[in-house]
Amino acid sequence: MLASTLLFAAFAAAAPMSDHVHKRAGGPIAKPIPSTCTVTNPLPTSSGAETYQPAPATSDALLYSAYYPSPSSNKTALAEQCLQQCYGYGDSTQCKTVYWAENVVTPAGYRGSPGGALQTGCVFFNRTLVNADFVPAPAGQATDAFAGNIQC
């Protein structure tokens, strides 16, 4: 009885409620996307310097997210790693759309933080996002945004 109570307590402590959504940087293993799949860009066409980020309503399709300081200056490589992690998530069918950008506002509660810091974000969605799912980001935020819909 005591042992099972302790075991439960250990599990409860190790698995905070939001853990399925906010995983640590590192996260899913990057898996190269087979040439039989297509990756299309759902971001609205930018007029000028405007950048886009997922609208708040897309949180109902949030599968995974990670926020971290960019470990390199090669944005192409970082965005590609995030894309491949999306494909590597689960059995490679759950992550439909991936979003990556620098200077994204870290949400409150991420890894126990108050949020608000601008960090590099890699976010997975379990439905295919379209143009209308994105909104303009405040100036200086969501820079070099990349999004990809994976279809295999």
Ligand X SMILES: *[C@@H]1O[C@H](CO)[C@@H](O)[C@H](O)[C@H]1NC(C)=O
**Distance of alpha carbon 118 from alpha carbon 144, whole angstroms:** 13
Which residues ranging from 116 to 145 are in contact with ligand X (CB under 6 A)? 126
Structure-block tokens of residue 92? 């490679």
The answer to whether the CB of 65 falls within 8 A of the CB of 21 is yes
Residue 139 CB, shortest distance to ligand X, in Å, is 26
Supply φ then ψ for residue 111, to 5 degrees: 50, 40
80 is an interface residue for ligand X by CB under 6 A: yes
Closest CA to 63 of 15, 22, 120, 106: 22
The binder of ligand X chosen from 30, 61, 105, 135 (CB under 6 A): 61
The binder of ligand X chosen from 30, 39, 62, 105 (CB under 6 A): 62
**Distance of alpha carbon 141 from alpha carbon 152, whole angstroms:** 31
Q: Which residue is nearest to ligand X (CB)?
A: 77
**Distance of alpha carbon 131 from alpha carbon 77, whole angstroms:** 24
Contact segment (CB under 6 A) with ligand X among 10-18, 56-64, 95-103, 116-124 equals 56-64
| Count, residues near ligand X per rule CB under 6 A | 9
Nearer to ligand X among residue 61 and residue 118 (C-beta): 61
Residues that bind ligand X (CB under 6 A): 60-63, 74, 76-77, 80, 126
